């Protein structure tokens, strides 16, 4: 079972968290996991892993975000991109109740009235695959127009984060079981 | 690129369509594909691949459904369950415009006001993995309370199917490219 | 976590138990599992999966055995043969206390004073890999000289089986975690 | 066939030997291999790959050990942890003759009368998976109570090492063949 | 090391040879292998595995062919198609000496002056991947214009077959070693 | 579909081009690709990835070569060595028209009258597998006797490169489809 952890202390996401075994090193959580914390997001060019962003010179900045770090100990990056897309869809599904369907997912991005709610990336390390998702808690100073969780109606980031982590853990477990209850066909 | 095909003739889905190379045999479409057709859904017990349904004695029946058959030529069933879940989320995302957010996804099922809109299964064959998704076009005679595409506001099943197939093909291609533009991390 | 189950009713092992989802169909246990039961062992030639036995015309028979059926929902048969060998080594390790080191493992076979204690095979199904291990509870009528659990000092097959299943579940979980706590090297 | 090599010159194991192609670079042995040498064991914190040891501040030291370095050119770390566990069980099996069953395996550790005989780790490199096993030849100065091969009755480390390497090569080859002689089941 | 075997008795290739463990069942050769024999080639529609041939109603017939059956005990069909293409290129390379470069490879087919020399298919079984290659020894009665080994200058099919099997075994071994002597890059 | 690109500006191949995402970083080509350029070849010892060359102290130098860089976004190095060998066979097949069959392929090397036409290596990066092939355009100063494309009759390196890249892209696509049109066998 994928482990979940809400870290109560604020931390800056600067890209060094997207590293194998970061969760184990810092929180002593071993195995597949999803961890959440709050804090600024400042990723310098040399820490960015999405070369598309690097090529166009995009910077990644937010004064405060809700960060999710997901680690799966298998090496199939394409599968982890599927996991990332599904996770983004799950964020949207959860937030619909508060924002009434105004969220749009495009690939791994979420938009609210054409303002960007999220940043996200999936990559692989020598021993695992990793996902980072950041959702804006504040919107001032971002390089593109952004929306925050509060603006779209979610006033309780911690409760939201805990709920979402549990949903993700349950969905991942359910997907594995779905694979264990079908017979093959011809 | 995953190929798409809307088959204009009605066909009954009886489980024999969930078979390797069915799309190639019947429509001469080679490679990864998504195909749609309309028709009844009647799966007898010996054709059911979800043993959970078999164990509880569930039957699968609908007078008319919009059927999607997806085939991916790799052998990772867990990855294909991720694809299936993402596809269900995409159906929900597309239908939101017409039904205003009332759709709920639970695993691989879609519900509208607690009525079931869909059936779905993912499995593997000796050479590929396969997904079937059926969306009700009519609701009379189903073994559980069901909703139809029309009831939730989608009046043009063919247009919807074509749009969804294109979205799925684009998302699958985009996911592969997302895997091709990141550097690894430590 | 791999699930364990001791089935209290006697059953004949005739090879049909070495089949995908047999554990789910019969005991409603979903996912990776190890199951134990007692009963005769009679595998006819057409049910044998080890072609080496088929080629030399070996028959498999025991009046009563303690049977283990293990199912892992991945498709790497070589890995499952490693699991099988390790499981045989674990049986030996556990029995040492009662028999004082007289057991010898050769590949997937266990011998006690040159008499065969066990039969075992690993194979794959369309959706999983499978292991069968049988340990003699009685020795009369076997095609080769055999030893029984009782002869080597284990008087409580059920207690032994439950202990071994727990050890295997713990070892499998521990192996996965061992894979999740090391950094890669150059 | 996995290649075996006993290196007659003493060398210090300091963690830099657990590196891809170390065996090829130093001994010109190409392909899957197991190599043995004798020498001290001193691994500084920055060379340790087991983060559990790093987190608890364990140091690894022995005045003299018999070292085994195993390299398999596939990328499945979990499979290589199975190989490691099986190899530890094989060490135990071999030493039983001299020490009469007093050895206990717990995961990847071997104990003799509650004293530690071994250290071991499995990890992966960019092109292979690797195992290190060290067995104490001397026990003074170790950070925890240890036993040596000599204490448990093995007076000929080189003969033991050569025998064990041959057994491992044979077992690995036999496991592959075991995978090549079974038919699949339903 | 892939095993080679030239079977001296004539046999008809009717498609039933393209089956897992056929080589082990008939010749007691265990593990990855390439086997050659001579005989007619008559594959009825229900035995054909290339559905493209089935769809266009192609029949496969030759009065006498030199047949190669290759079995690799891994499950990656795409990799085995690469092996097949390389094997076809190797046949061409070998025959150049006798026919002076007039052979053309198109995918998995070999042509000599626009006449077809070969038939070939690659597929997978539940436990392995398999390749069949047939080279015409006689040309009368074939459904398309064909060339024979003799026509293109190879008068000694057995010597050619033995040489080619050895070359294939050597190339496969060399490819594995090529994978074991490079360091990874960034 | 694998993308092809002929880069018209001369560049020195010094080993730093054999790096993940080099093609994307420099030419903004995303996904599996083959790229060609002309220029000197000078690889210093610390950039060489073939440790066999390093061990024997081989240097790699050519005043001018036609370079191919191939990147596949999967992680199976053995499969990519098969791709490399097939690519070398394709170069040979293409050049036969101009040089009349005098080219010999030995593993991943091409020879013309015992002079070396090519250098090549395949390796893996953290996110992909990579191939470099260099074909001599000039022969002076090389550490071993070499032949150039011009000497063997190919006067138009760019046309040759473009043709070969298209052939490779077509063969790779065809191989995938070959995997998608066969049924499995028993």
Residues 6+ apart with CB under 8 A from E26: none
Checking if the pLDDT of C143 tops 90, the result is no
Dist. CA F93–CA A64, nearest whole Å: 60
DSSP state of F166: H
Average pLDDT over residues E28-48: 95
Higher pLDDT: D167 or F58? It is D167
Alpha helices (H) in chain F, listed in sequence order: 22-27, 51-56, 77-99, 157-178
Average pLDDT over residues A27-34: 97
Nearest-neighbour CA in chain A from B8: distance (Å) = 26
Nearest-neighbour CA in chain D from E17: distance (Å) = 15
Residue E147: band (very low, low, confident or very high) from pLDDT cuts 50, 70, 90: very high
Interface probe for E, chosen from C77, C130, C186 (most Cβ of E below 10 Å), is C77
Calculate the average pLDDT of chain A: 95
- Pairwise CB contact (< 8 Å): C175 & D85: yes
Which among E51, E123, E126 has CB closest to B24? E51
E21/C contact by beta carbon, under 8 A: yes
* Cβ E91 vs Cβ E120: under 8 Å: no
Residues of D in contact with C100 (CB under 8 A): 101
pLDDT of residue A60: 86
Chain F, nearest residue to B177 by Cα:
F31
- Pairwise CB contact (< 8 Å): E21 & C51: yes
Calculate the average pLDDT of chain B: 95
Average pLDDT over residues E97-109: 90
B123/F contact by beta carbon, under 8 A: no
Residue F57: band (very low, low, confident or very high) from pLDDT cuts 50, 70, 90: confident
Higher pLDDT: D100 or A75? It is A75
Residues of A in contact with B181 (CB under 8 A): 50-52
Segment D56-81, tens digit of pLDDT: 887 889 999 999 999 999 999 999 99
Residues 141-170 of D with CB under 8 A from C: none
* Cβ F51 vs Cβ E182: under 8 Å: yes
pLDDT of residue F40: 97
pLDDT of residue A81: 98
Nearest-neighbour CA in chain D from C50: distance (Å) = 5
Phi, psi of F133 (to 5 degrees): -130, 130
Give the global pTM.
0.96
Checking if the pLDDT of D50 tops 80, the result is yes
Average pLDDT over residues D83-97: 96
**Among candidates F162, F166, F165, which has minimal Cα distance to F8?**
F162
Average pLDDT over residues E158-181: 97
Nearest-neighbour CA in chain B from F71: distance (Å) = 10
Distances (CA, A) of E119 to A180, E88, E142, F69, F175: 39, 10, 11, 33, 16
Chain F, nearest residue to D126 by Cα:
F126
Question: What domains can be seen in chain F, in order of their start residue?
Answer: 3-176 (3.30.930.10)
Interface probe for A, chosen from D46, D51, D121, D130 (most Cβ of A below 10 Å), is D51
Which among A81, A105, A174 has CB closest to B179? A81
pLDDT of residue D102: 85
CB atoms within 10 A of CB E145: 11
Checking if the pLDDT of C41 tops 80, the result is yes
Which helix H or strand E contains E162, and what residues bound it? helix E157-178
Average pLDDT over residues E152-164: 97
pLDDT of residue C51: 92
pLDDT of residue D137: 98
Dist. CA C90–CA C80, nearest whole Å: 15
Checking if the pLDDT of E5 tops 90, the result is yes
Interface probe for A, chosen from F20, F22, F23, F24 (most Cβ of A below 10 Å), is F24
Interface probe for C, chosen from B20, B77, B127 (most Cβ of C below 10 Å), is B77
Checking if the pLDDT of E101 tops 80, the result is no
Calculate the average pLDDT of chain F: 95
Q: Which two tokens stand for residue B162?
A: 């074509």
**Among candidates F127, F116, F131, which has minimal Cα distance to F164?**
F131
| Number of residues written out for chain A | 186
pLDDT of residue A97: 85
- What percentage of residues in chain B have a pLDDT greater than 70? 100
Distances (CA, A) of A174 to B106, B115, E148: 10, 21, 57
Higher pLDDT: A70 or D141? It is A70
F126/A contact by beta carbon, under 8 A: yes
- Pairwise CB contact (< 8 Å): C55 & E127: no
Phi-psi region of F7 (alpha: psi -120 to 50; beta: other; left: phi over 0): beta
Pairing of strands B3-6, A129-136: unpaired
Residue A114: band (very low, low, confident or very high) from pLDDT cuts 50, 70, 90: very high
- What percentage of residues in chain E have a pLDDT greater than 70? 100
pLDDT of residue F101: 75
Residue F70: band (very low, low, confident or very high) from pLDDT cuts 50, 70, 90: very high
Segment F158-174, tens digit of pLDDT: 999 999 999 999 999 99
pLDDT of residue D89: 98
pLDDT of residue B183: 95
Chain B, nearest residue to C30 by Cα:
B52
Average pLDDT over residues F89-107: 92
- Pairwise CB contact (< 8 Å): B77 & C127: yes
Residue E57: band (very low, low, confident or very high) from pLDDT cuts 50, 70, 90: confident
Checking if the pLDDT of F97 tops 90, the result is no
Residues B155-183, buried b or exposed e (16+ Cβ, 10 A)? eebeebbeebbebbbebbeebbebbbbbb
Dist. CA C136–CA C159, nearest whole Å: 15
Residues of C in contact with E28 (CB under 8 A): 55
pLDDT of residue E97: 85
Higher pLDDT: B97 or A91? It is A91
pLDDT of residue F126: 96
Chains with at least 3 CB pairs less than 8 angstroms from chain D: A, C, E, F
Lowest mean pLDDT among B116-125, D98-107, D122-131, E121-130: D98-107
Residue E99: band (very low, low, confident or very high) from pLDDT cuts 50, 70, 90: confident
Distances (CA, A) of D37 to C11, D18, D68, D151: 51, 13, 7, 19
The strand pairing partners of E4, in sequence order, are: E34
Residues 6+ apart with CB under 8 A from C130: C18, C19, C20, C69, C70, C71, C72, C80, C122, C123, C124, D185
Pairing of strands E3-6, E33-43: parallel
Lowest mean pLDDT among A18-22, D49-53, D149-153: D49-53
Chains with at least 3 CB pairs less than 8 angstroms from chain E: B, C, D, F
Dist. CA F138–CA F99, nearest whole Å: 17
C24/D contact by beta carbon, under 8 A: no
Residue entry with tokens 């092109």: D127
């Amino acid at each position: 079972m994928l482990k979940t952890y809400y870290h109560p202390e604020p931390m800056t996401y600067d890209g060094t968290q997207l590293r194998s075994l970061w969760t184990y090193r810092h929180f002593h959580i071993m195995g597949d996991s999803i961890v959440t914390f709050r804090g600024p997001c400042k990723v310098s060019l040399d820490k960015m892993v999405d070369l598309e962003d690097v090529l166009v010179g995009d910077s990644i900045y937010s004064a405060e975000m809700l960060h999710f770090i997901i680690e799966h100990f298998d090496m199939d990056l394409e599968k982890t991109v599927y996991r990332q897309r599904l996770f983004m869809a799950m964020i949207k599904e959860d937030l619909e109740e508060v924002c009434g369907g105004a969220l749009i997912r495009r690939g791994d991005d979420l938009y609210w009235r054409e303002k960007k709610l999220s940043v996200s990336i999936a990559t692989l390390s020598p021993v695992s695959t990793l996902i980072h998702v950041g959702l804006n808690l504040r919107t001032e100073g971002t390089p593109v127009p952004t929306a925050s969780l509060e603006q779209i109606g979610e006033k309780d980031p911690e409760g939201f984060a805990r709920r979402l982590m549990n949903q993700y853990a349950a969905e991942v477990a359910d997907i594995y079981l779905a694979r264990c209850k079908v017979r093959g066909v011809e």
